[in-house]
Structure 1
Amino acid sequence: MSNNLKIALITGGNRGIGYELVKQLAMRGFKTILASRDSETGHEATQKLKELNLDVSFMAMDVDNQKSIREAADIVNKKYGRLDVLINNAGVYLEENKKLVAMDPSILERTMLTNFFGAYHVIRSFIPIMEKKGYGRIINISSEYGAVSAMSYSGVGAYKLSKFALNGLTQLVAAEINGDIKVNAVDPGWVSSDMGGPSAPRTPRQAAESILWLATVGSEGPNGGFFRDGKQIAW
């Protein structure tokens, strides 16, 4: 395999922003892995992109399942021996419109499992592959709801806490990492997708473009930052 071939993996790549990120990275010449827990929609999405002559392959990976993540990392390591870009996009929004202390605790637990622990286990499993080459770009898809200021008003408590924790994880891992490996968080804005609903003002394509510059940023680029539309925003 050519040494300059760059490999990218996107979780939750079967729809919405994730699908658009897979497409855009493949159009930029990356060998792109579309990871999704749902094999059927994952295969369908991959097939659609292959028909556009894009170098996309499907990988079944459930970010709620550590064994599934470890197996996926093993496959990437054995097959390619490298991973240049990792985008933690898989996420859930299970909100009941109730106060955090009044909602069913399982809502918070399931939200944290996917949005925080999912990203944590994915990073933990794939970072060693990046460390082998001393290079990598990790992008965590967060939300303005994860900002500290969002904690001072009520509503969507489970989702907010999960993104708040993801933002903290971004900063901690960025501080711990060596080599040219950069870890950043992005708020894609309110996007028309299954999660954002049809009235959202931004298209997945606009959201993807606001994220992808971090995938190819040079060694002088940011590490441990939070961004919206290419500009740093407050944690």
Structure 2
Amino acid sequence: MARIFITGSAGGLGLNAARALLQQGHEVVLHARDESRLASAGAARDQALGTVVGDLADLTETSRVAEQADQFGPFDAVIHNAGVYSGNQIFAVNTVAPYILTALMARPRRIVCISSGMHRSGTPDLQGIDWTNAATRPAAYSDSKLYVTALSAAAANRWPDVESNAVDPGWVPTRMGGRGAPDDLELGHVTQVWLATRESSEDHVSGGYWFHQQRRQPHPAVNDVGFQTELLDALERHTGFALK
């Protein structure tokens, strides 16, 4: 049995992952932006080990999410699932929040960051980036997913004892993906569930970018140690928290 924390798990892929993990007998801690969102998790909320509430677009609330979650830890895995596709909060939710939680929470055995195939269209240029206002970047979503994928790789490099991986769940018909999304919703959560619960006897798997349980080649900047360092430095300056 594993103990797993999933951000943004009151709906969509996060809730699907939570349901699958609960069905397998694992302990799951759910997260939502507010109590009303948690109510939509239905039976999963009743079956969960606990719940955490906080708006990941806000630095202070994200810090509180880390504190709340740690009360249920230590975790075998943390799945950074929460994400937004549009609006000024793209960087705050998609990149800054996973960084803060990774920096502040007790270190889990495994970290899984939800990426996107669109990260390949992102730019590794961090000059002049405003983490609080995505309107300043024309391809903010792609950039945010490039950054969180590089964050996952950086954690793998810094912490050899932790398995840290990024997952492209595909373009699936969730509230964010839209009803016309062409990929299989049922496959959208499988890889992150697998990475979070792999048997400990299996080989150490870390620093990967995955699509449907197959390792894929990410944007070249993801594994560029120089870019990883630049990204972590920028996030530390913005948040005041260091990834140690």
Residue aligning to 1:193: 174
Superposition deviation, residue 196 in structure 1: 0.8
1:88-103 paired onto structure 2 within 5 Å = 88-94=80-86
- In structure 1, C-alpha distance between the alignment counterparts of 2:194 and 2:73, rounded to whole Å: 24
Worse-superposed segment, 212-221 or 182-191? 212-221
Given the alignment, which residue of 11, 14, 18 partners 2:14?
18
1:1-235 paired onto structure 2 within 5 Å = 6-45=2-41, 47-50=42-45, 54-78=47-71, 80-94=72-86, 107=87, 110-126=89-105, 128-130=106-108, 136-147=109-120, 150-151=121-122, 157-179=139-161, 181-217=162-198, 218=200, 220-235=203-218
Superposition deviation, residue 56 in structure 1: 4.6
Identical-pair percentage: 26
Residue 100 of structure 2 aligns to a residue whose secondary structure is: helix
Deviations 1:135-180 (A, max 9, x none): x111000001112xx249xx9711101111111111111100142x
Contact kept? 2:52, 2:68, Cα under 8 Å:
no
Contact kept? 1:63, 1:121, Cα under 8 Å:
no
Contact kept? 1:91, 1:115, Cα under 8 Å:
yes
Residue 71 of structure 1 aligns to a residue whose secondary structure is: helix
Deviations 1:33-75 (A, max 9, x none): 1101121121331x42256xx3353210222233333333333
Contact kept? 2:30, 2:45, Cα under 8 Å:
no
The code of the aligned residue for 1:63 comes to L
- In structure 1, C-alpha distance between the alignment counterparts of 2:167 and 2:176, rounded to whole Å: 16
Gap change, CA 1:156 and 1:202, over 3 Å in 2: farther
Residue 118 of structure 1 aligns to a residue whose secondary structure is: helix
- In structure 2, C-alpha distance between the alignment counterparts of 1:197 and 1:124, rounded to whole Å: 32
Residue 89 of structure 2 aligns to a residue whose secondary structure is: helix
Contact kept? 1:17, 1:205, Cα under 8 Å:
no
- In structure 2, C-alpha distance between the alignment counterparts of 1:170 and 1:70, rounded to whole Å: 19
Contact kept? 2:9, 2:32, Cα under 8 Å:
yes
Deviations 1:196-229 (A, max 9, x none): 1111233433211132111122362321110001
- In structure 2, C-alpha distance between the alignment counterparts of 1:144 and 1:203, rounded to whole Å: 15
Superposition deviation, residue 188 in structure 1: 0.3
- In structure 1, C-alpha distance between the alignment counterparts of 2:91 and 2:212, rounded to whole Å: 26
Contact kept? 1:7, 1:31, Cα under 8 Å:
yes
Residue aligning to 1:102: none
Residue 224 of structure 1 aligns to a residue whose secondary structure is: coil
Q: Could you state the TM-score of these two structures normalised by the residue count of structure 2?
A: 0.75
Residue 179 of structure 2 aligns to a residue whose secondary structure is: coil
- In structure 2, C-alpha distance between the alignment counterparts of 1:220 and 1:113, rounded to whole Å: 34
| Runs (5+) with no aligned partner, structure 1 | 95-106, 131-135
Q: What is the number of residues matched between the two proteins?
A: 203
- In structure 2, C-alpha distance between the alignment counterparts of 1:68 and 1:158, rounded to whole Å: 22
Superposition deviation, residue 123 in structure 1: 1.2
Structure 1 segments (4+ residues) deviating >6 Å: none
Contact kept? 2:56, 2:97, Cα under 8 Å:
yes
Residue 87 of structure 1 aligns to a residue whose secondary structure is: strand
Q: Could you state the TM-score of these two structures normalised by the residue count of structure 1?
A: 0.78
Contact kept? 2:11, 2:40, Cα under 8 Å:
no
